């Protein structure tokens, strides 16, 4: 094992929320906004695109798991031959085939795999465009749940990072769901077949309770350098610097069907395949902007409005952010996160006339909820249908995947949005593209918008039968336990001796008085 003295300055690893607060302070003081004013263009083929960094953010990660009690589970493995059968022109042109299948858990977590160390140890991660660092549970972590761990003793290229006193350098990252702590290290990384040497990462020795329950082992940040705490250079800087033939772009396709073997969820470094949407699909671009000095931090885009629609989209119930807001495109958040300033107003409009408690509504169906339309710079109109953000059970209980974004002014366009719109992260041109076939219509192109039903009908029939069976058995047990003793005593010739509770009230009273006199 190598030991590396870290000489470069590294800032304190506090809560990423602090950076969010500093950005807000910057804005109130008159921040610089760099907007390339890119026109919304329809580009079918991208030949060469720029570099990508990593991000940290305050989007609450506790969206993970918050809705899982109502989402169907499917651990079906995706068919790896899908990629062998696809004709992907960009990959062939550049000799690149860096794709990762993502396993869809409950439409709530999309998990891929990386290889860390030499020889590579396989670990599962969420590829998070809303955070900047790579962290993985280390061997010996007793508070990391059932997560797989990285065994540094098996890697020939592992290095420990120490300070000037030759003590291991600690790190801590906080999320809405809790924190992880551990030590800094460095090793080689394999991501989608692309090799990266000298990647700084966090070797976790402790995870808070909720994070221990996460399906993935760790997180791999795919944002920008400005908020990197441990992983500098960032994963994407190293991916593109050390693999110069790879176009500096990555695309994210999130299927809303965990059982989709023909078009499984995936992340692709260096390419995309618009035919997933349709043969005539094009990218609708919105520029990435920088809201403070220094390096880019978030995949931040300008938002010019959110409309809550009714009457089949003909009437506007509410129009917000008409003067402009900012949104983060984030694969690490399950739903749509809305700043507190707007959240409760949006919820009131969504639930108007419905019987709801929080984000859960009763005796309703998907068609009872309004459509939403997001307006992104420069002129993109992106609807989100009710079926895209609402999931319902067969007994009329529905959940809409919207939550407040505490302590910040940013809207978060999470997985719900990217399920509706195949997404391209273009770094050279600093823009994000959303795929549409002509006019954008939300997730209708999936063939079935939104989320899956919770369970199939036969499942509920099975549970109903089991429930009735348990109730019947409980009734039988109760009757037997209540009457069997008296029947047995009667058959044996024993007379019934009344209990104190069965004796007349006057008798009890006289006995009590007698006890007192004595």
Residue 365, strand partner residues: none
Query: How many Cβ atoms are within 10 Å of 198's Cβ, its own excluded?
Result: 14
Q: Whose structure tokens read 């305050």?
A: 58
Q: Kindly state the helix (H) or strand (E) to which residue 310 belongs, with its residue range.
A: strand 300-310
Q: Any idea which residues carry the catalytic annotation?
A: 128, 330
Between CA 133 and CA 502 the distance in angstroms is: 73
Helix, strand, coil abundance in the chain, percent, nearest 5 = 25, 30, 45
Secondary structure of 401-443 as H, E, C letters: CEEEECCCCEEEECHHHHHHCCEEEECCCCEEEEEECCCCCHH
Indicate the Cα dihedral angle 295, 299, 304, 308, nearest 10°: -150
Strands (E), 86-164: 98-101, 103-105, 109-116, 121-128, 134-137, 159-162
What value does the CA radius of gyration of the chain take, rounded to a whole number of Å? Answer: 29
Spatial separation of the C-alpha atoms in residues 405 and 176, rounded to whole Å? 10
Provide the token pair at 65. Answer: 């798991």
No. of H helices and E strands in the chain? 10, 28
């Amino acid at each position: 094992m190598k030991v590396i003295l870290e000489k470069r300055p590294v800032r304190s690893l506090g809560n990423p929320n602090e950076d969010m607060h500093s950005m807000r302070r910057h804005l109130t003081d008159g921040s610089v906004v760099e907007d390339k004013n890119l026109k919304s263009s329809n580009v079918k083929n991208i030949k060469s695109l720029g570099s990508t960094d990593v991000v940290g953010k305050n989007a609450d990660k506790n969206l993970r798991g918050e809705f899982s009690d109502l989402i169907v589970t499917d651990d079906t493995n995706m068919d790896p031959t899908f990629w062998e059968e696809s004709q992907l022109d960009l990959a062939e042109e550049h000799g690149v085939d860096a794709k990762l299948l993502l396993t869809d858990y409950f439409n709530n977590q999309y998990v891929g795999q990386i290889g860390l160390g030499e020889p590579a140890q396989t670990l599962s991660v969420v590829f998070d465009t809303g955070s900047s660092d790579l962290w993985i549970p280390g061997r010996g972590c007793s508070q990391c749940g059932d997560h797989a761990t990285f065994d540094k003793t098996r890697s020939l290229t592992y290095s420990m990072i120490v300070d000037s006193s030759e003590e291991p350098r600690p790190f801590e990252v906080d999320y809405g769901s809790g924190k992880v702590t551990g030590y800094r290290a460095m090793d080689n990384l394999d991501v989608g077949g692309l090799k990266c040497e000298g990647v700084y990462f966090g070797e976790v020795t402790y995870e808070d309770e909720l994070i221990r329950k996460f399906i993935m082992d760790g997180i791999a940040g795919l944002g920008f350098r400005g908020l990197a705490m441990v992983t500098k250079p960032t994963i994407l800087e190293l991916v593109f610097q050390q693999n110069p033939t790879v176009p500096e772009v990555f695309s994210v396709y999130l299927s809303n069907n965990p059982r989709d073997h023909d078009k499984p969820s995936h992340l692709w470094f260096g390419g995309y395949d618009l035919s997933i949407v349709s043969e005539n699909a094009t990218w609708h671009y919105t520029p990435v902007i920088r809201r403070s000095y220094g390096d880019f931090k978030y995949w931040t885009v300008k938002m010019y409005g959110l409309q809550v629609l009714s009457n089949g989209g003909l009437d506007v119930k509410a129009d917000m952010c008409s003067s402009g807001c900012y949104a983060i495109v984030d694969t690490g958040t399950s739903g749509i996160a809305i700043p507190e300033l707007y959240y409760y107003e949006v919820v009131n409009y969504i639930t108007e006339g419905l019987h709801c408690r929080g984000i859960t509504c009763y005796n309703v169906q998907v068609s009872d909820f309004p459509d939403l339309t997001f307006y992104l710079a420069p002129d993109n109109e992106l609807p989100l249908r009710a079926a895209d953000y609402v999931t319902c059970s067969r007994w009329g209980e529905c959940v809409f995947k919207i939550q407040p974004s505490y302590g910040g002014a940013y809207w978060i366009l999470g997985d719900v949005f990217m399920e509706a719109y195949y997404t391209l992260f273009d770094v050279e041109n600093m823009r994000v593209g959303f795929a549409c076939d002509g006019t954008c219509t939300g997730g209708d192109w999936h063939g079935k918008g939104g989320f899956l039903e919770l369970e199939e009908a036969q499942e509920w029939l099975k549970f109903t039968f089991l429930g009735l069976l348990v109730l019947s058995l409980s009734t039988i047990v109760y009757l037997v336990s209540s009457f069997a003793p008296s029947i047995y005593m009667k058959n044996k010739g024993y007379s019934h001796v009344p209990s104190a509770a069965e004796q007349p009230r006057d008798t009890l009273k006289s006995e009590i008085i007698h006890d007192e006199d004595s």
